[in-house]
Chains A and B, each alone.
Chain A
Amino acid sequence: MFGVLMITLLLTIALVGSNMDTILKQGVIYQVRAEITENTTIAQGFNNPDEFEKFVQQKIDERIKTLGLDNPWYSPQRLGYTMYKILILDFGNATFLTSDSGSSNVGEIIFEKMPKTILLFTTATIIISIIGIVLGAASSNKIGSKLDRITSTFAVISSSFPVWWVGMLMIFVFAFVYQIFPARATPSIEPDDPEYILALLYHMALPVITIVLIGFGAWAYLVRNFMVGIMQEDFITAKKTIGISKNKIVYSHALRNAAPPIVTILALSLSGSLGGAIITEAVFDWPGMGRLYFEAINVMDLPVIIGSTYILTVLFLVSIFIADLLYGYFDPRVRTSS
């Protein structure tokens, strides 16, 4: 797992490394030139421009050397140093972007945005799973009924629409045609205002509704399929013959047995949605990590890109790990066999 993390990091650095070097070097050149031109006495000391150019170049080379930029980004010491810094969550300073409080420390920016992403997607996922489980169980109770057919159809249709497109439509309908919700999901009041939380929740409504609308159909379908499988098992037939009511069997016995795969997929889908957050947040302008990532890509703010990729990967891996643990907890067969 740690290995995967390192490889991810390595890949990210490999992909952005050469660009970062060029940008940093240009920065140094600019800085050195600015310093020299500000100090007029240095320029007066030279009588021909060639000599002056040479002096400037020499200064630039010196500066690049002291910063360690003369080694390419893949040289072991620089790579090791970069990796070490990222491991201790020191991502350095962002080139362009700042946090809301004005800090340009990448770690601070990310940790300011992360809670909002987690808030949005956890809320949505919880709502989706509740609706999905209830609906899925209900439709597996009566296979072939109207409810079942509607759920299945809805699942197939809803899952083929891109979330962000539905988001655009929702903004169009509910923010402009009927002005119920705000179009931008970023609240306009200051974060330290006591009403901020209320405003945030109000602004969160439209994204959450959209994500839920697209997600719950597929969930219900999934739960239904698991349940159908379980309802064919022998112990359920045995319970039926004893005379336990069907509703009780479905909602307590069968559902409990369907729990392990459901919980695993829940954890996985939560982490999967974090990746999808980039587009969804860009549409709704939700001030979370996805939008940060999008903005960072737009202005090529490399420290932010590296930092957020790292954090996203960590979150992804952690949720896979949690999914594994939960599976073991719910399904003891896995524990004993390993």
Chain B
Amino acid sequence: MSSVSTNEIKREFLKSKLGLTGIFILSGLILVSIITISVIPASTFQEWNNPEKWISYPKTSVPSWVNFLTSEKIPEHKIIPGKIFESQKDGIFLTSQQFGVYFDYDDFPSDFIFETKIKYSDSHLVQIKVIRPDGITLELLSTSLPYSEIDTTHSQRYFSTDSMIKKSLNVYKNDFQFELLTSSTDAIFSHLDENKVQKGNYIFMINTYGIDESVDVIESKMILGGKAFGLMGTDELRRDLAIGLLWGTPLALFIGISVSVGSVVVGLIYGVYSGYKGKKTDEAMMRFNDIIYALPALPFLIILAVTISNSIFLMIGFLMIFSWVGIAKVSRSMSLQIKTRQYVEAAKIMGQKDSKIIFRHILPQLLPYAFASIAISVPAAITTEAGLSFLGLGDPSFPTWGQILHDANTYGAAAQGFWWWIVPPGILIAITGLAFVFIGNALDVIVNPKLKR
């Protein structure tokens, strides 16, 4: 059973296709984690639950690669930086922030927002216009900046959902051959004769007029709210799912590996000690083992999470409590066999300490088994943690895959058909699990030759 040397394991393992596949997937996942940790700033996941951070993202938009698969092009979410032009005529200074966009999608954008930050004094007039591909200029908004005597910095957001825009569009209602009932974006981006998207170049302008005084534009951008965004799309709270999924990878690996390593180490030492000592110690320790074994794990995990804390580190500890039991049982029976071997007895007669015998002579024999069981118990840890998070008991400060699914469930993603919100986290959970199952099975076959056929 335990006469397999490390080299032999390595050689056998390299022969097993399954094991190599597992290693391959796992190294891919580790690579993703390393890239995530080093490239994406940690502030993104700390602000995962901060809605303000995600305000300029679109709501529940599909991943943008969907456009490659469908013939109808879904408008992508775009953030367009403004270009600034200044001119002067008869003492009137005109500062124009212009946003050009080539729009060739088959659906209307959901909305658009102008975000500007300007420094000015005195009073200024603001006019928002759009020049459409068919040459028509629509005036969207006329307003003024609040009067100020000294230089002030002023941030302003203009929303396409503003009722003022709708009113000013009403001026053109005779030009449109259909009724302007729906949102203003549907009219702005539409043909005149029918309510269909007009493709081409649009130029949006925010013109600021001032007498003897120009304004300094500090920040200027236009957010064209599309229905497709990024690699993985966004959720109901406008969060970029790609970031959540990427951060979920190192978290899941961390949870899975630390739980399984912890429980295997505890189980091994517990079982070996119990088997080695024998007699009453063994009896008492195994009864305790039975008690833990008979506890229903999930209800207890839930109670622990609710009453004590749902911090991710404590959760790892709780998961360990319930997962070392089986390993302790097996390693006990293995140590019962090993302790009858002559070299162990010789060591005993030589007067070596119990701890030394256990750590020097018995435990190394169990190492191959330990590695196999570490690999096999990782998926269970990951799924259990995901399950707890899914019930809403996860650590809210970390975006795990389980939590993404929890949010998906609370916002009824299945009912509304947001597949990109449901499918990727589950597949990632399964792939991570599979990698470890492959490695574990390959190791298992080597360690227990009985399974070979």
Interface contact B303-A313, CB-CB below 8 Å: no
Smallest CB separation, B386 vs chain A (Å) = 6
B290 / chain A contacts, CB cutoff of 8 Å: 4
| Complex CA distance for A274 and B295, rounded to whole angstroms | 12
Interface contact B453-A279, CB-CB below 8 Å: no
Cβ-based interface call for B433 (8 A): yes
Interface contact B303-A274, CB-CB below 8 Å: no
B379 / chain A contacts, CB cutoff of 8 Å: 160
Interface contact B434-A157, CB-CB below 8 Å: yes
Q: How many A-B residue pairs have CB under 8 A?
A: 128
Cβ-based interface call for A312 (8 A): yes
User: Mask for A1-25, Cβ within 8 A of B = 1, else 0?
Assistant: 1011001100110011001000000
Assuming the contacts A160-B379, A297-B306, asked whether A309 and B387 have C-beta atoms less than 8 A apart, the reply is no
Interface residues of A in 143-193 (CB under 8 A from B): 143, 156-157, 159-162, 164-166, 168-169, 171-172, 175-177, 183
| Complex CA distance for A160 and B377, rounded to whole angstroms | 11
| Complex CA distance for A239 and B433, rounded to whole angstroms | 41
Smallest CB separation, B28 vs chain A (Å) = 16
Partner of B419, one of A16, A19, A172: A172
B414 / chain A contacts, CB cutoff of 8 Å: 168-169, 171-172, 175-176, 183
Interface contact B387-A162, CB-CB below 8 Å: yes
Cβ-based interface call for A258 (8 A): no
| Complex CA distance for A168 and B413, rounded to whole angstroms | 9
Interface contact A282-B391, CB-CB below 8 Å: yes
* Beta-carbon nearest neighbor of A4 in chain B: B294
Smallest CB separation, A305 vs chain B (Å) = 7
Smallest CB separation, A260 vs chain B (Å) = 18
| Complex CA distance for A166 and B379, rounded to whole angstroms | 16
The B interface is mostly helix, strand or loop, or mixed, namely helix
Counting chain A CB atoms within 10 Å of each CB, the highest count among B307, B426, B437, B453 belongs to B307
Cβ-based interface call for A317 (8 A): yes
B299 / chain A contacts, CB cutoff of 8 Å: 275, 278, 293, 308-309, 312-313
Interface residues of B in 437-453 (CB under 8 A from A): 437-438, 441, 450-451, 453
Smallest CB separation, A123 vs chain B (Å) = 21
Cβ-based interface call for B383 (8 A): yes
The A interface is mostly helix, strand or loop, or mixed, namely helix
Interface contact B417-A294, CB-CB below 8 Å: no
User: Mask for B412-425, Cβ within 8 A of A = 1, else 0?
Assistant: 01110101001101
| Complex CA distance for A228 and B450, rounded to whole angstroms | 11
| Complex CA distance for A298 and B453, rounded to whole angstroms | 50
B426 / chain A contacts, CB cutoff of 8 Å: 161-162, 165-166, 168-169
Cβ-based interface call for A83 (8 A): no
Interface contact A176-B415, CB-CB below 8 Å: yes
Smallest CB separation, B22 vs chain A (Å) = 11
* Beta-carbon nearest neighbor of B429 in chain A: A162
Cβ-based interface call for B91 (8 A): no
Interface residues of A in 275-330 (CB under 8 A from B): 275-276, 278-279, 282-283, 293-294, 297-298, 300, 305, 308-309, 312-313, 316-317, 320
Interface residues of B in 282-305 (CB under 8 A from A): 290-291, 294-300, 302-304
Assuming the contacts A143-B453, A276-B298, A293-B302, asked whether A161 and B430 have C-beta atoms less than 8 A apart, the reply is yes
A11 / chain B contacts, CB cutoff of 8 Å: 295, 300
* Beta-carbon nearest neighbor of B388 in chain A: A279
Interface contact A297-B386, CB-CB below 8 Å: no
| Complex CA distance for A3 and B379, rounded to whole angstroms | 32
Assuming the contacts A164-B390, A308-B299, asked whether A316 and B294 have C-beta atoms less than 8 A apart, the reply is yes
B304 / chain A contacts, CB cutoff of 8 Å: 15
| Complex CA distance for A1 and B295, rounded to whole angstroms | 11
| Complex CA distance for A3 and B434, rounded to whole angstroms | 38
Smallest CB separation, A162 vs chain B (Å) = 5
| Complex CA distance for A10 and B419, rounded to whole angstroms | 44
Cβ-based interface call for B349 (8 A): no
A165 / chain B contacts, CB cutoff of 8 Å: 386, 405, 422, 425-426, 429
Interface pairs (14), CB distance under 8 Å: A3-B291, A4-B291, A7-B291, A8-B296, A11-B300, A15-B304, A160-B383, A160-B430, A161-B430, A162-B429, A165-B422, A168-B413, A172-B417, A275-B297
Residues of A within 8 A of B (CB): 1, 3-4, 7-8, 11-12, 15-16, 19, 143, 156-157, 159-162, 164-166, 168-169, 171-172, 175-177, 183, 225, 228-229, 274-276, 278-279, 282-283, 293-294, 297-298, 300, 305, 308-309, 312-313, 316-317, 320
- Known contacts A172-B414, A279-B298, then 13 further A-B pairs from the complex at CB < 8 Å, ordered by chain A residue: A4-B295, A8-B294, A16-B303, A19-B307, A160-B433, A162-B383, A162-B426, A165-B405, A168-B408, A168-B413, A168-B426, A177-B417, A316-B296
